[in-house]
Structure 1
Amino acid sequence: MTTGSKTTTIFLTTLCGLLLTILGLMQEWPRFAWPALAVFLVGVPAVAFKIAAVRRGPLKVDVEEQRTDPPIERRELHVRHVALPSNWADYDFLFSATVRWYPLEVSGNDPVLNPAGLAVEAVLDRARLITEQREPGRPSLVQHELSGALSRMRPDPTGHLQAMAEDITLVLREHDQERLNRLAEVRKDKAVWEHQRKYEQSKRQYLSEDVLKDTGSAVVWWLSKNDDHVEKTVADLGLLAQLTSAANDTDVPERLRDLMPRPHDERPAPDTLQEPAPPLEPEPMPADLFEAFLDSMGFTDGDVRRPILVKQIADVIRTQDQHETAEDLLRRFDPPASFTPDVGEPPTSTHGTTDETPAASPFERKTDGQ
C-alpha cells in the first residue's frame, strides 16, 4: 500500500468514527457499545494494511533501481560578429547568437575534447546554407529566417551532440550598408529618369506623328484645345502652318504663306526697295566729340590755347579713372610737355595763379581781345 492509500484509509476511518459517535449520542447507545466502537475503528485500518501487505508480497528494494537518471547536461556559448557569405560577392553578414548543445551517448571510445567547437561549427554550417542564398539588402528578414531555422536541436555531422542557436542577430558592416543605401537611391533615381524619358519620348512621338503630322491635324488638335473657338483657330492658321512645317523640316505650303504672321517692323523685300539702305556709321569716339567741341568754341587747330586746354581736361578725366580716354586725347592733340607763359606775363603757380592775384585764363584773354 502506498503512502497515499494509507492516508486515505486513515481519513475514511476517522470520518466514519465521527459519524458513528454522533449517531450513538443521538440514539443513546448503552455504555458497553462505546468500547466496541473504539475497537472497531482501530481494527479496521490495521486489517486493511495487513491485507494490502499480503497481496503485495515480499519486495527487495534495490538501491540501484532507486537512483534517478542524471539530468541532461546542457552547455552554451555566445559567438559574435562571425562573417557569413551572402548572395553578393564581398558583402558578408555578421552573425551573432547564443549556441546551445547537449552531448549524445556514443558507442566506442571516441571522446569529444571540445564539444563547444562542434556545436558552433554545426550551427554556422546550418546558417551559411541560408545566408549564401540571400541578398544583403534585407538583413533583418534573413535574421528572422535564421531564428526559425536554428531554433531546433539537431545532431552535428559527427553525431556526438545536438545543437541549436537563439538570440540571433544578423547585420551588415556599416560601410557595406551605406553602399547599399546609395545603390538603392541610384536605382530609384534611374527608374524615375527612365519613366520621365519614356514619357517625353511618348509625348514627342504623339506630337510629331499625330498632332503635327500636317497642318490639318494641327488645326483639329488646336480646335479641340480651344473648346471649339473657331475664330481663334482661324486666326492662328498661319502660326499652325509654320509650326507644322518646322516640325517636319519642310517649307510652308504656298497656299498658306499669306496667312503667316508678319512682325510690325518687317521691311519690304529687297526687290521693292527704291534706294539702297545707307551704311551704318561708326559710333564717334570721345576724342572726336571733344574735337568738335573745341572747333565749336573757336579753338581751332593751330591755336596755342588748344593743347593747354586739352592737357587740363585730360588731367581731370584721369582723376575719374578714365586713363584710356585721357591718353587718347593727349595722343590726338599732342600737347607740349610744359606750358611756357608769354613774355611780360607774371609767372603762375602750380595751380595757374600768381602769388597775389589769379592769372587770367586763356578764355578770359580771348574775351578781352574781342
Structure 2
Amino acid sequence: MSSGHKTVTFFLTVICALLLVILGKCLGWPLWAWLAAAASLVAAPAAVALISSRRKNPLPRELTLEPDLPIPPLERREQRVTRVALPSDTPDYDFIFSATVRWYPIDAPSDAPLVSPGALATDAVLARARTISAQRSPGRCTLVQHELNGELGTMLPDPSGRVYAMAESVDLTLPDQDRERLAKLSGVRKDEAVWEHERRYEQNKRSYLGDDVLKDTGSAVVWWLSRNNDRIDTTVKDIGLLAQLSSAANNQDVPEPFRHLVPWPEEEQEDDGEPSATDLFDRMLVMMGFTEDDPERALFVDRVADASEKAARHETARAIRQRFDPQEDPGTHDEPPPSFGPS
C-alpha cells in the first residue's frame, strides 16, 4: 500500500469511528454492540491493506523511484548562415548570402556513422544556392534573392541522404564598391552606344553627300533640283557652282563642259580683286538654301573644307573653317574621336 492509500484509509477509519459513536449514543447501544462496532473498525483497514497489497502497480517501480527527473532538451534543427560569398556570372563580382537553414534527420541504419546534421544541411543549401547564383548577373541582385527564396524553400535530401534541408529568410546583397562599379560601367556603356550611334549617323551623312549627292556634277544638279521643288530656272543658274562644288568634293578639276559656267574664276579674283573663295562659298551656301541653324550646313562646310585640304588648298580650307566654324581648331580637326573605354 502506498503512502497515499494509507492516508485515505486512516481518515476513513476516523470518520467511521465518529459516526459509530454518534449513532451508538443516539440509539443507546448495549455493550456488545459497542464491541462489535470497535471490532469492525479494526478489521476494515486491515482488509483494505490486504486487498491493496495484492493489486499490481500500473507503473514500473523504477519509474516511481525518482519522479522529478528533468525533461531532456529538444534537438535544435535550424541555424543562421551569414555573409557567405556566392559567385555570379561576372568574374570578381560575388553575391553576399545570408539565410536561416532548417533540417530534419532521415532514419539511418544502426551501423551508419555519426554525422553533424547541421553541417550537412548547410552544405546542401549552399550548393543549391551556388548553382543558381553562378548563372545570374550581379546587377540583378534583388531579383536573384527572390528566386533563391523560392528555390531553397523546399525540403530536399542532401547528397549523403542523412538529412532533409531547406532555407528561408534569404538575404542577398552586393558590396557597396561593386555596386558603384557596376553603375559606372553601365553609364559608360550607354554613353559609348550614343557616341557610336552619332558617329555612324555622321558617317552616313558624309557618305551620302560624297558618294551620292556630290559624286559628279549631274548628281549634284539632280539633288539641287529636288531641294528647290523642281525650279528649273534656279537650278540652271547654279550649275556652275554645283560643278565647282562636286569637283572640290572629289579632289578634281571642274570638267571642261562646265568650266564656262563657273562664276568668278580664280585667276580673275587674283587680278581684279574679286571676292575671296570664302565669300563665294558663303554666297553658294545662301543660294543652296542652307541657313545658319541648319545642322546639314556644318556637315557640308566640313566636307568642303576636307576636300580643300586633300587638294592642297590649305589656306582656303583654313579660311573656310575660321569663317564658318570659328570655334573649331583646324589643327585638331583630323584627330580621332575620344574613346569611352576604361583607361
TM-score range, shorter chain: 0.5 to 0.7
Give 1:93's aligned residue.
95
CA gap 1:224/1:124 in 2 versus in 1, 3 angstroms: same
1:74–1:101 Cα contact (<8 Å) kept? no
Give 2:191's aligned residue.
189
Pick the aligned partner of 2:177 from 164, 175, 178: 175
Give 2:166's aligned residue.
164
Does the residue aligned with 1:249 lie in a helix, a strand or coil?
Answer: coil
Give 2:269's aligned residue.
266
> Any idea what the Cα deviations from partners look like across 1:139-196, whole Å, max 9, x if unmatched?
2222222122111001122222111011112121111111111111122222222222
C-alpha displacement of 1:113: 5.6
- RMSD of aligned alpha carbons: 2.7
Letter in 1 for 2:143: L
How many equivalent residue pairs?
201
Give 2:207's aligned residue.
205
**What percent of counterpart residues are identical?**
59
Distance 1:219 1:179 in 2: 54
Give 1:117's aligned residue.
119
Give 1:342's aligned residue.
none
Does the residue aligned with 2:89 lie in a helix, a strand or coil?
Answer: coil
Give 1:84's aligned residue.
86
C-alpha displacement of 1:115: 2.5
1:112–1:160 Cα contact (<8 Å) kept? no
Give 2:245's aligned residue.
243
Give 1:226's aligned residue.
228
TM-score, normalized by length of structure 2? Answer: 0.53
Does the residue aligned with 1:259 lie in a helix, a strand or coil?
Answer: coil
C-alpha displacement of 1:260: 2.4
Structure with the bigger percentage of helix = 2
Which 4+ residue blocks in structure 1 deviate beyond 3 angstroms?
109-114, 263-267
C-alpha displacement of 1:211: 0.9
Give 2:295's aligned residue.
none
Letter in 1 for 2:157: P
Letter in 2 for 1:163: A
Higher relative contact order (CA 8 A, sep 6+): 2
Distance 1:92 1:188 in 2: 24
C-alpha displacement of 1:215: 0.6
Give 1:297's aligned residue.
none
TM-score, normalized by length of structure 1? Answer: 0.50
Moved more, 228-237 or 125-134: 228-237
Distance 2:272 2:208 in 1: 38
C-alpha displacement of 1:204: 1.9
Distance 1:226 1:206 in 2: 18
Distance 1:177 1:183 in 2: 10
For structure 2, the residue ranges without an aligned partner over 5 or more in a row are 1-57, 60-73, 274-343
Letter in 2 for 1:236: D
Does the residue aligned with 2:269 lie in a helix, a strand or coil?
Answer: coil
Letter in 2 for 1:173: P
Letter in 2 for 1:124: L
> Any idea what the Cα deviations from partners look like across 1:217-269, whole Å, max 9, x if unmatched?
10110111111222322232222111100111100123323332339993427
Give 2:258's aligned residue.
256
Distance 2:265 2:253 in 1: 19
Letter in 1 for 2:81: V
Distance 2:271 2:260 in 1: 14
1:99–1:123 Cα contact (<8 Å) kept? yes
CA gap 1:229/1:73 in 2 versus in 1, 3 angstroms: farther
Distance 2:89 2:110 in 1: 41
For structure 1, the residue ranges without an aligned partner over 5 or more in a row are 1-61, 64-71, 271-370
